[in-house]
Structure 1
Amino acid sequence: MIPTGDATAILPTSSTAPITVIGTAAIRDTFDEVCLQQAINSRQAPGVTDVVLNPDAHLGYGAPVGCVMVSPTHIYPGPVGVDIKCSMSLLQLDLPADAIADRRTRREIISAICQRTPTGAGKGQRSVPKSRNVNRTLGRQLVVQGASADVCQQLGIPSEWADRCEDAFHLGHDDSAEALDIRLATLLEQRHMSNFSDKMAQLGSYGGGNHFGECEVVEVDDNRRAREVAETFGLRDGKVAFLSHCGSRGFGHNLASGQFNALQSKFSRWDIPLPAGDRQLVYAPLGTDEANAYLDDMALGANFATVNHLLINALVLEAFQEVIPGTTGSLVYFISHNIARKEIVNQRPAWVHRKGATRAFPGGHFELRDTPFAQTGHPILLPGNPRDGSAVMVADAGAEKSCYSVNHGAGRVLGRRHAKRVLDQAKIDSELDRRDILSNCRRYPKDEAPAAYKNFEEVLKSVKTAGLASEVARLKARFVIKDASGADD
């Protein structure tokens, strides 16, 4: 890597323009050879015009987690991943921080949430007593319509929350919902979708691994711009908020796995060369039946993920209201970090694949017209870890250099097996206890401990020094909802 600034560099390739790298020298040292090779393979793949490596980058599926990959001519499932539209959302409550100071109160809220939003790789609404019932008919409707007014009404989701979504719904390859309806009917006849009803029963659940729900206290930065932006975002200094991380659950995994299997089979049958020989970098040229099928499947999974997040937030609010009657809440934002979106890059339409990367449009960007964030830029939700907190940021004009993208969090520095082998369970639990951070887990998952992730302050320093985004607020954890099973994304 060749430094071009205090927090930027380029990674040359043998046959294409170089890769843009965002990260201080300390962060660049966290990129191992496999991660860098995946970035090079992705940049040299057919039709790819830009690749950005963000400070949280690490080994991924074909392309690194923490990268942006742009193509005006091809669609790539790998740089979206198996957890289609894995996302972040933030719910702002009207409660002051001292309302949850008492540990017993927090324990009651944890219990109330866990009675509504199950965790675990295979868990769904049937495993908790106070969830919402999602039958097959409603499931078919929501994966086609996303967060439509009718879907929200049936699930008890405030309809105005749809205005606080990066994308409240996704359309098919021809920009119609009809294409999704037709595609879904075809999928439901296929063997890998025989469990459709069971997957719909996972709506309103977190899953496992790095997915979580986290109760926070908001600390708005003490400067004029941050205070003004926070007001637009709906952030309330010193008040309680709730941050969620999850995606499309088993339904998205089924869709992604089906696509990988189908495309890999065709590459093999037609003897098409794979980029760098990597089966995880299969692709489809836009306009082909294969590309259309993938875009439709991605949209179906993304619609599930959108409604899943909104329902979780509605259930979390309901849980707070059960313990602290009269609590009110509003959605700050819902934003994805595993999706391909059609955007304008270098003055032409292209598919921007964000794998563990977050969209970052600054104020005045044309795509934010007629949104609450047209003047400020939209909220960027960056999870760190319970010990060091998380951040809410807003994009600056310099985000153009990273294809209007930033990292999706801290990024792993230890693999899961390595973390389980070398980290000390007693130290992890005692550290959280000293900071008065509670959890629903009897023992906090070792592979999700703060030490398994990169230095969050250095990650944020990279983003700010590179001129991509500015900090608006910190979120300080008060309790965490997690599962100890393997990662979903």
Structure 2
Amino acid sequence: MIPTGEATAMLPTKTTPPIKVFGTPAIRETFDDLCLQQAVNSRLAPGVTDLVLNPDAHCGYGAPVGCVMVSPTHIYPGPVGVDIKCSMSLLQLDLPAEAITDRKVRRELISQICRRTPTGAGKGQRHAEKSRHVNRTLGRQLVVEGASEDVCRALGIPTSWTYRCEDAFHLGHDETGSALETRLERLLTRRDMSNFNDKMKQLGSYGGGNHFGECEVVHVAENERARKVAGAFGLEDGKVAFLSHCGSRGFGHNLASGQFRQLQGKFEQWGIPFPAGDRQLVYAPLGSDEANDYLDDMALGANFATVNHLLINALVLEAFQEVFPGTKGNLVYFISHNIARKEIMDDRPVWVHRKGATRAIPGGHHALAGTPFAKTGHPILLPGNPRDGSVVMVANEGAEASCYSVNHGAGRVLGRRHAKRVLDQSAVDSEFDDEDILSNCRRYPIDEAPAAYKNFNEVLRSVESAGLASEVARLKARFVIKDASKADD
């Protein structure tokens, strides 16, 4: 990598313009050889015109996690991944921080949330007595329509929240809902979709791995811009908020896995070489049947993920109201970091694949016209870790250099197995006790400990020093909902 600024660099390839890299020297040291090789492989793949490495980058599925990949001609499943539309959402409550000082109160909140939103790889509605029941008919409707008014009303989700979503629904390859209906009918005849009913019963759940729900206290940054933007976002300094991280659960995994099998089989059938010999970098030219099928499947999974997040937020609000009657809550934003979106760049339509990357569009940009964030830019929700907090940011004009994207969090620095070998469980649990952060886990999952991730403050310094985005508020954890069983990320 060749440094080009305080927090920028470029990674040359043999035949294309260089890869843009964002990160301070300390952060760039965290990019291992496999991560960099995956970045080069992805940049050299057919139809790719831009590739960006964000400061949280680490090796992933074909393309690195923490990268942005742009193509006007091809669609790539790898740079979306198996958890289609894994996302972040933030719910602002009207409770003052003092309301949750008492540990018994927080324990009761944890209990009420877990009675409504189950965690764990295979867990669904039957594992939470106060969850919402989703039958096959409603399941079919929501994966086609996303967060439509009818779907929201059926699940008790405030319809006003849909205006605070990056995308409240997704259409098919031809920009119609009927394409999704047709595709779903075909999918439901396949053996690997025979568990559709069971997957719909996972709606309103977090799953496992790095997914979580986290109760926060909002601390708005002490500068004029931050206070103004926080007001537009609906953030309230010193009040309680709830941050959620999850995706499309088993339904999205089924769709993505099926697409990888189908496309890899076609490559082998037609004798097409995989980019850099990597089976995980399969692709389909836009306009082909294979691309259309993938775009439809991605949309179905993304619609599930959208409704999943909104339902979780409705259930979390209900849990708070059980403990604090009359509590009010409003969605700040819902934003994805595992998706391919059709966007306009350099006056032409392109597909922007964000794999562990978050859209970052500043105020005044045409893409935000007609949204509540047209003047300010939209909220960027970046999870760090319970010890160091998470942040809400807003894009700067300089985000154009990163294809209007930033990182999706801190990014792993230790693999799960490595973390379990080298980290001390008692030290991790003591750290949480010292910080007075509670959890639903008897022992916090050691492969999800703060030390398994990059230095979050250095990651944020990279983003701000590169001129991509600015901090609006820091979120300080008071309790965490995680899956303490087998990690499935």
Band the TM-score falls in, shorter-chain normalisation? over 0.9
Note the alpha carbon deviations across 1:15-40, whole angstroms, 9 max, x for none.
11110000000000000000000000
1:290 paired residue number: 290
Aligned positions, number: 489
Q: CA shift at 1:486, angstroms? A: 4.8
Alpha-carbon distance in 1 for matches of 2:139, 2:397: 40
Equivalent residues in 2 for 1:51-70 (5 A)?
A: 51-70=51-70
Alpha-carbon distance in 2 for matches of 1:144, 1:50: 31
Q: CA shift at 1:326, angstroms? A: 1.0
Note the alpha carbon deviations across 1:351-389, whole angstroms, 9 max, x for none.
000000000000001010010000000000000000000
Q: CA shift at 1:246, angstroms? A: 0.0
1:114 paired residue number: 114
Q: CA shift at 1:344, angstroms? A: 1.1
Corresponding residue SS for 2:256: helix
Alpha-carbon distance in 2 for matches of 1:364, 1:20: 24
8 Å CA contact 1:211–1:488 kept in 2: the answer is no
1:343 paired residue number: 343
- Letter in structure 1 aligned against 2:26: A
8 Å CA contact 1:147–1:169 kept in 2: the answer is yes
Q: CA shift at 1:347, angstroms? A: 2.0
1:437 paired residue number: 437
8 Å CA contact 1:59–1:65 kept in 2: the answer is yes
Query: Gaps (5+ residues) in structure 2?
Result: none
1:363 paired residue number: 363
1:376 paired residue number: 376
2:301 paired residue number: 301
Output the aligned Cα RMSD: 0.6
- Letter in structure 1 aligned against 2:357: A
Alpha-carbon distance in 2 for matches of 1:58, 1:133: 38
Alpha-carbon distance in 2 for matches of 1:372, 1:473: 18
Alpha-carbon distance in 1 for matches of 2:338, 2:161: 21
- Letter in structure 2 aligned against 1:166: E
Note the alpha carbon deviations across 1:63-90, whole angstroms, 9 max, x for none.
0000000000000000000000000000
Note the alpha carbon deviations across 1:79-116, whole angstroms, 9 max, x for none.
00000000000000000000000000000000000000
2:311 paired residue number: 311
1:133 paired residue number: 133
Q: CA shift at 1:262, angstroms? A: 0.3
Alpha-carbon distance in 2 for matches of 1:346, 1:244: 34
1:151 paired residue number: 151
What's the TM-score, normalizing by structure 2?
1.00
- Letter in structure 1 aligned against 2:90: L
Alpha-carbon distance in 2 for matches of 1:75, 1:370: 28
2:261 paired residue number: 261
Query: Gaps (5+ residues) in structure 1?
Result: none
8 Å CA contact 1:46–1:74 kept in 2: the answer is yes
Alpha-carbon distance in 1 for matches of 2:23, 2:488: 26
Q: CA shift at 1:324, angstroms? A: 1.0
Quote the sequence identity (%): 81
1:33 paired residue number: 33
2:15 paired residue number: 15
Query: Structure 1 residue 224 and structure 2 residue 224: aligned?
Result: yes
Corresponding residue SS for 2:410: coil
Equivalent residues in 2 for 1:347-426 (5 A)?
A: 347-426=347-426
2:458 paired residue number: 458
8 Å CA contact 1:75–1:285 kept in 2: the answer is yes
Note the alpha carbon deviations across 1:156-177, whole angstroms, 9 max, x for none.
0000000000000000000000
8 Å CA contact 1:211–1:487 kept in 2: the answer is no
- Letter in structure 2 aligned against 1:453: Y
What's the TM-score, normalizing by structure 1?
1.00
- Letter in structure 1 aligned against 2:364: G
Inter-CA distance 212–421: structure 2 relative to 1 (3 Å threshold): same
2:142 paired residue number: 142
Corresponding residue SS for 1:384: strand
2:330 paired residue number: 330
1:81 paired residue number: 81
Alpha-carbon distance in 1 for matches of 2:93, 2:409: 23
